[in-house]
Chain A
Amino acid sequence: MRARPRLADGTGPVLVVLLVLLVALAFAGPAYAEPSGYLALLKRAAPLVVLAVGQYFVIASGGFDLSVGSLVTAEVVVAARLVDGDDANTWWVIASLLGCGLLVGLVNGLITTKLLVPSFIVTLGMLLVLDGAVFLWSGGAPRGALSPSFRVLGRGSADVGVLGQVPWSVVVLLVVVVAAAWFMRSGTGRMLLAVGDNENVVRLAGGRVDRLRLLAFVLSALLASVAAILLAGFAGVSAQVGEGLEFRAITAVVLGGVLLGGGRGSVVAAAAGALSLEALFSLLNLLGVSGALESAVQGVIIIAAVAYAAHGAGLRRMLRRPVPHPA
């Protein structure tokens, strides 16, 4: 008999939080009386959700990726310079952005696994390197411009009968989340989670720990590139676009109940965490709370969620009735 599909540890609470926030939004703002309001929210949230999914792979396997924010900035600034407002350049630039992401992920992953430098340090170093490189190259002021076709993914929308205009970024978001959920159900995905839980066991069982870790970093950087393309499309060129995104993504993942240090948590919950974070910020704005509080709220969430993860498991175990093992 197949086990009935059940939600991974920590998925429940974040879905409840998300639902509460979405309902609250409907009461707080007239715009959320229609699907278009929620579509606009999804569109705003899409880059963060994509980043959070990427961050999830790294965190679940026991690492951190702090380089995603500066990678986003670097790619947006580079894209503007390379595209230079010409539609003919759109596609090869998008391809080379993904290539850049791949490269950065490989470097992060290889240094972590082969040189045994903790990922926190490696990706912090990468953050500083990318920041510095962008500043050196652009002098702090981006040049060039994005072409209209480059911006379609982040800004445009497709006509879908019932729902009306569905933004392309929402389509990208759905594809990424579904693909990630499918991947985490595959053997490789399960192994990735196992690496975060206990890498020695995976190694003794014949799993290739280094390769799995490397894969996590590459996926994270690739998805950061996708987020960069979405963000650049959404709002155009800016040298500030990636500022603080890495912490936002980590907050989202933690809010999704994913254990820092790895080994537990679901990718769908991480995505839901990102969406909740964005919904929360929208709600705070609707209620007239100043945007400056955002970082404070983020800090409180990160601490509260980690504290819950540390003590919540014991709490749940106490509450749960003992289940007899099948013979």
Chain B
Amino acid sequence: MNRKWSAAALAGALTLAGCSSDLPSAPAPGGTSESAKTKSEFFDETEFERQRRFRVAKAVGLDSQDGAAKPWEQALEPQLVDTAKYAKPGGGYHLCFSNASVDNPWRQVGFKTMKEEVKLHPEITNFTVLDAEAKDDKQISDIQSLASQGCSALIVSPNTTATLTPAVEAACATGVPVIVFDRGVKTSCPVTFIHPIGGFAFGADGAEFLEDEVKPGGKVLALRILPGVDVLEQRWAAANEIFSGSQVKVVGVEFTNGDAAKTKSIVNEYIQREGKIDGVWMDAGATAVAAVEAFQDAGAAIPPFVGEDQQDFLRMWADEKMTAIAPTYPTYQWRTPIIAALRVLGGKQVPREWVLPQPKVTQDTLGDFIKQDMPPLHYAMCGCEAMPGYPAPWK
């Protein structure tokens, strides 16, 4: 092989590296507390305050206020809208679902929960699902193709907000009730938009916990997955806001790409660099166990940790007697769109924006959420334990 060929090959390799890389093209906020103090462009004071209010507000059931409703049937400050025009009594419903993807454990647990929810309702005779495999263009054509399949109601979990908006508007125009959940769209045409409180609340839950648990001047390491994803940016924006008003010192903000090995190396390097880390904040718990292991392997004490409600982290938390908290983005929200669809088809009112409670796992409730026989990446807040098929489909 001559040198020209190898040069051409290398150029190709570099181009490919550029294309396939998930890393940010712009330099990320550096690992200093100074840069951490600048406000994120994703920070929205009004929305932050609204989500803070939701965290302490009491969620209510839609039909009775007596608290008999389960969390996935409850709503925060609901503004009910009339759905009589969609009413289609008699059952025999054909529900359609355009799913963004099932490419991470959170979506897998959620989707399984949704399928089990469908089984609970005999009036649903047909459930058609199209998986967009995380591609906007595929989801646009999925929604179009569902429009011609005689759906009684269309459920959409959008892959991205802006790009999917016209497709959802077009679906609304066909007269089918459209229900959007998880990520939103920029149109008010869907009957209801279902989501938990949100990213600001998630980020704040963890940051406030560290504010309490880490002594003044203590060093906090913040680990994030990727920049630029609005849900994740909101989590960090809220945490950043809280940290900058507190006595703790953020010694680093690093991106892990969701990779356990990279996470472990980063944490290991920070332990070596700082001598001691007094708290770890994470925007998602997928690599929390790897981060904890870095402390174990370095022979350092495990500091207060912010994780998520995945079984591997909860077990580690209990086994190592850690000081920790697990904010959740509850997977039980996948049950709600089915419930909402049946309410709409039954002519019952639904909230225009259906905000679900977003609980966190704390030391006091940890024992309730550990399920030793469930897979390590199972999300505890699935609201699925009492479902008839449990636990087989989630394994």
Contacts and interface: CB of A to CB of B under 8 A. Distances in A.
Interface of A: 29-32, 37, 40, 44, 47, 62-64, 66, 85, 118, 120, 124, 135, 139-145, 155, 196, 231, 234-238, 240-241, 243-244, 247, 250, 260-262, 282, 285-286, 288-295, 299, 302-303, 306, 310
Given A241-B261, A243-B257, A250-B13, 12 more contacts: A29-B273, A235-B260, A235-B293, A238-B258, A240-B257, A241-B260, A244-B20, A244-B21, A285-B31, A288-B31, A295-B21, A299-B17
Contacts of A140: 101-104
Contacts of B103: 135, 139-141
Given A141-B105, A155-B293, A286-B272, A302 B10 contact: yes
Nearest to B103: A140
Contacts of A196: 1
Given A140-B102, A140-B103, A120 B268 contact: no
Contact of A145 (B9, B21, B101, B375): B375
B115 to A, nearest CB: 14
Contacts of A286: 269, 272-273
Interface string B12-27: 1110110011111001
B108 interface: yes
Q: How large, as a class, is the contact surface on chain B?
A: 35 or more
A66 B22 CA distance: 17
A141 B102 contact: yes
A298 to B, nearest CB: 8
A194 B264 CA distance: 40
B56 to A, nearest CB: 33
A262 to B, nearest CB: 6
Contacts of B377: 141-143
Given A140-B103, A291-B254, A234 B261 contact: yes
B272 A37 contact: yes
6 contacts: A31-B275, A143-B377, A236-B290, A260-B7, A262-B1, A289-B30
B259 A260 contact: no
B298 interface: yes
A282 B260 CA distance: 17
B28 A62 contact: no
B6 interface: yes
B102 A139 contact: yes
B3 interface: yes
B266 A285 contact: yes
Contact of A260 (B10, B24, B272): B10
A155 B27 contact: no
A63 B258 contact: no
A90 to B, nearest CB: 17
Nearest to A309: B3
B78 to A, nearest CB: 33
Contacts of B102: 139-141
A62 B3 CA distance: 10
A299 B254 CA distance: 20
Chain B interface helix/strand/loop/mixed: helix
A235 B273 CA distance: 20
A261 B1 contact: yes
A187 B199 CA distance: 62
A302 B10 CA distance: 9
B157 interface: no
B255 interface: yes
Given A141-B108, A247-B13, A235 B264 contact: yes
B263 A244 contact: no
Contacts of A64: 9, 13
Given A235-B261, A236-B293, A238-B261, A292 B31 contact: no
A63 B260 contact: no
Nearest to A64: B9
Contacts of B101: 140
B17 A120 contact: no
Contacts of B108: 139, 141
A234 B290 CA distance: 9
Given A120-B12, A261-B6, A288 B30 contact: yes
B92 interface: no
Q: What 5 pairs between A and B have smallest CB-CB spacing?
A: A140-B103, A31-B272, A261-B6, A235-B260, A235-B261
Contacts of A231: 261
B297 A288 contact: no
A76 to B, nearest CB: 9
Contacts of A143: 375, 377
Given A141-B103, A295-B23, A240 B258 contact: yes
A44 to B, nearest CB: 5
A250 B9 CA distance: 12
Nearest to A72: B261
Contacts of B105: 141-142
B31 A290 contact: yes
A244 B257 CA distance: 11
Contact of A299 (B14, B271, B297): B14
A75 to B, nearest CB: 13
Interface centre among A231, A238, A250 (most CB of B within 10 A): A238
A282 B265 CA distance: 9
A168 to B, nearest CB: 12
Contact of A292 (B27, B104, B271, B376): B27
